[in-house]
Amino acid sequence: MSGPYTLCKATLADAPALRALHRVAFAGLAGAHYTADQIEGFFTEVETVDPDLVADGTYWLIELGGLPVASGGWTMRPPGYAPAAQAPGTATILAVFTDPGHARRGLARRIMDRIEADAVVLGQADRIDLCATLSGLPLYLALGYRPVEARSLKLASGAYFPAIAMTKTVWPPFEADSPVIPAFRASAA
C-alpha cells in the first residue's frame, strides 16, 4: 500500500475491519508479553470495538489505502473494568492498536495526541486513565502516564491476562502556582 495516512472518525461500518486490525496488532506486537492462549482468551472475552465510542464520535482510526492501520478512542463514561464511581473529570482511553506492519511510525502517538486533546477540550477532562497492556507500557510511559496498579483479567481458561492501570493529569497544563484561564477549554471547543 502507498499513499498518505489519514486520520478520521470510525463508523460502525468500520467495526469488522477494526476487530481484524486489533487481532493482527495484538498477535504481532504483544507476543513477547503474552502467550497465544492469553491473546486468544482476551479476544474471546473482550470486545475491543465499543459501539458507544463509535456512536459518540470519540473513536478514531488512521487509514492507509482505505484500510485501518491504527485506532484508539476515549470516553467520559467509566469502562466496564473500572469502578462504577469514576472521579469527575476523568476520561478513559480505550483500544489503542497499531498494525505491526505500520509500527514505529508515530501512528499510536498521533492517535493518542488526538484523543487526549479531544478528552481535554470536548470532554473537559482533568485526568486521563487507561489500562495498558504490557506491550503498550513503553508508549504510555513516554507520553507521561504513570503506573497506578497492576491488574489482571481472569480468563475463562483460568489463565490471567496482566495489564497496568495508568493515569495522567492533563488539566491544568501549567505548573500548580501558575495562573490558569479556565475559559480556555470552553473557547477551544
Domains identified in the chain and CATH numbers? 6-188 (3.40.630.30)
Q: How many CA atoms lie within 13 A of 21 on its CB side?
A: 27
What's the pTM? Answer: 0.85
Confidence of residue 81 (pLDDT cuts 50, 70, 90): low
Confidence of residue 172 (pLDDT cuts 50, 70, 90): confident
Percentage of the residues of the chain whose pLDDT score is greater than 90: 70
Q: Which tens digits make up the pLDDT trace of 11-57?
A: 999 999 999 999 999 889 998 899 999 998 998 888 889 999 999 99
Give the list of residues 6+ apart from residue 64 with CB closer than 8 angstroms, or none. 1, 3, 4, 5, 6, 102
Q: Which tens digits make up the pLDDT trace of 90-126?
A: 999 999 999 999 999 999 999 999 999 999 999 999 9
Give φ, ψ of 180 to 5 degrees. Answer: -120, 140
Output the nine-digit C-alpha cell for 175: 505548573
- In angstroms, the CA 131 to CA 147 distance is 9
